[in-house]
Structure 1
Amino acid sequence: MSVVSALAPLPQADLEHVLAHTEAVWREMAGASIFITGGTGFFGRWLLETLAWANARLQVGICATLLSRDPATHTRRNPHLAANRSMAVIGGDVRSFDFPAGPFTHVVHAAFDSSRPIGDRLAAFDTLVAGTRRVLEFAATQPLQKMLFVSSGAVYGPQPPGMACMPEDYRGGPDPASASSVYGEGKRAAELLCALAAANGLPVAIARCFAFIGPGLPLDAHFAAGNFLCDAAAGREIVINGDGRALRSYLYAADLAIWLWTLLLKGQTGRAYNIGSEEAISIGELARQIAAYAASPGVAVLGKPGGGEGERYLPDTARARSELGLAQYIDLPEAIRRTLTWMGFAAA
């Protein structure tokens, strides 16, 4: 079996699931004009497709303008979105783009493809920080109602042993003396820019995103779930490079879209919210569940077990649940089933 094409439509059942939990959001944003950066990646695709679905089903008349470094590629990959009259694509680098003609009522800044390996670390840091500054400068010129900055749980650095889940008030951080911290430190600096803008009256909230699974997840990047799905799609043994003990949690992409749209509308200015699942699972167990559903030949664990507990990367989502009424609606086994069904697998 070949890896499913990125052009395959998202499942209608998932689009309806998002709509069922965000109808009030769409109706409140009726007539809005949204500027989106990062709309060509995994997150962006779910945002754009759920927006298009809401427009079609509810007739809310929401328009979106997408900033892309490569509009032609976006058009080839997403012809149905490119043909949508409520959506426009403009070319430009997030660090220096020309401000599009407004007015815009909402901004979603999600530019930076974390699925790709970071080559030029200085350029990556510049994209994260200077890009955010440019978007904030643009947002300040608009009659803005709300802005959402899509950040990452990487801002917390390593999760301490014994901490079940990381809350938003945890004050840890990446090692600033390590070049490998460029992504986490870049997101931290970008969050600071958002905090400064919020202090000056810009209505921006922050989404700290953790790990996800669902249709469209890159299969050839550094995401464990995507790598395992890629192995399953190729009909080969699923390979774990580590010892399989690391703990993660995975929110299904349709739930992710619900959380992001709700946070854009309802998130408090200057406040950060963790986005993810609290259902912990080891990398080894994740591989075994995917293998069982896809009837893969098996799971190979290449690393030798170390001492102590496995490394963790788990969010505390109490803030989003209590302040915004959000929840995880689709559990991980169902998320795996839906993802593999979309990829063409029947139940084993």
Structure 2
Amino acid sequence: MTDTILVTGGAGFIGGCFVRQVCRQPGRRVVNLDKLTYAGNLDSLADVPEDRHVFVQGDICDYEHVATLLAEHQPSAVIHFAAESHVDRSIDGPLAFVQTNVMGTASLLEALRRYWTALPSPRREQFRFHHVSTDEVFGSLGETGFFTETTSYAPRSPYSASKAGSDHLVRAYHETYSLPTLITNCSNNYGPYQFPEKLIPLVTLNAAEGRELPVYGDGKNVRDWLYVEDHVDALLTVLERGRLGETYNIGGDSERTNIEIVRSICDLVDELQPAADGRSAHDLIRFVKDRPGHDHRYAIDFSKIETELGWRPRMSFVDGLRCTVEWYLSQREWVSRVQSGDYRRERLGLSAATIG
């Protein structure tokens, strides 16, 4: 019997990687619900076998549509990636983030509750709902310390606040209705197929084209970087063996300042695609006004998932960054296809800085 997983947001960066991995596993099938907004595309799923993958365009806010999909496909698990996910966009347009991340998750949870309640035993006992979240819900760290599963929430952007709201809703459905839930909070992901508004693909493509490389503030904000394939391995581990009602932090053990990232990419672009005029990509770096509410540092303690479930990241940041930069430099046609008409790698997130 084929095991069906419903994936929300499976045409996005992390969701797409999850779909590709699951569809390579014998006996598994994915129903992929995605709205196909600007960051969602099907190019990254072109090689997924059609008999393993059912794509459905739709919105998680559409309760009736979600309920129909659940009844039709009878999934044994649901993993929830669908979200507005870019901090700068949340500064420019916060209400879209509340609508999708909070209201959409609430609508999805209610459809799942009704579906799960009606399942016969033992399918009811085997069902899982896995909510994928972010370390940004915890706010900002100082120079030392790490986020753990018990760190208090302190979101500082509309994006992180909306994700915090969705996390709380998932926990509430577990506590109130006993819905079998799992939550993971991950650090910054990177790798192939990421929409080019995020730091690593944005800097890679701009450097390759000789365009300026804007760096917020002094560039010393710190993030922990997680290769997307490692993240998906962790997600599958939690989905299959995680304790119900628990939260697991997933980190890459790769803290870097933003300026370190930018300079490392410049080194790789200079090596892999040297400019015809001999200039270095480093000459393109420009320090610009900082983003409003820019968190100083994120760092993940992933000892819980390592101790309980035996997972830890395998890809080193040095190797992962090289693989990623090489991929973007060789996939310019993919980049041109996925970019929407209203995004051309311009700076976003200026609204709060220009009001008042």
TM class by shorter-chain length?
0.7 to 0.9
AA of the residue aligned to 2:47: H
Matched, 1:211 2:188: yes
Which runs of structure 2 are paired with 1:32-181 in the superposition (5 Å)? 32-54=3-25, 60-70=26-36, 74-75=41-42, 78-81=45-48, 84-97=50-63, 98=65, 99=67, 100=69, 101-115=72-86, 117-118=89-90, 119-140=92-113, 141-142=115-116, 143=124, 145-159=127-141, 161-175=142-156, 181=157
RMSD between aligned alpha carbons? 2.5
Which runs of structure 2 are paired with 1:1-348 in the superposition (5 Å)? 31-54=2-25, 60-70=26-36, 74-75=41-42, 78-81=45-48, 84-97=50-63, 98=65, 99=67, 100=69, 101-115=72-86, 117-118=89-90, 119-140=92-113, 141-142=115-116, 143=124, 145-159=127-141, 161-175=142-156, 181-199=157-175, 200-219=177-196, 221=197, 223-236=198-211, 238-295=213-270, 296-298=280-282, 300-303=285-288, 311-344=296-329
Structure 2 contact 78–130 (Cα < 8 Å) conserved: yes
Moved runs in structure 1, 4+ residues, more than 6 A? Answer: none
Residues 143-182 of structure 1 deviation map (CA, whole Å, 9 limit, x = unaligned)? 45222101111211222x243321121114125xxxxx32
> SS of 2:22's equivalent?
helix
Tell me the TM-score normalized by structure 2: 0.76
Aligned length: 297
Deviation at 1:235, TM superposition (A): 4.3
- State the match for 2:336 in structure 1: none
Deviation at 1:123, TM superposition (A): 3.2
Name the CA distance, whole Å, in 2 between partners of 1:149 and 1:327: 20
Deviation at 1:232, TM superposition (A): 3.0
Name the CA distance, whole Å, in 2 between partners of 1:120 and 1:237: 25
Residues 162-205 of structure 1 deviation map (CA, whole Å, 9 limit, x = unaligned)? 43321121114125xxxxx3222221221121112222222111
Greater fraction helix: 2
Name the CA distance, whole Å, in 2 between partners of 1:183 and 1:79: 30
Structure 1, unpaired ranges of 5+: 1-29, 55-59, 176-180
- State the match for 1:7 in structure 2: none
Structure 2, unpaired ranges of 5+: 117-123, 271-279, 331-356
> SS of 1:250's equivalent?
strand
Name the CA distance, whole Å, in 2 between partners of 1:76 and 1:278: 30
- Percent of pairs with identical residues: 25
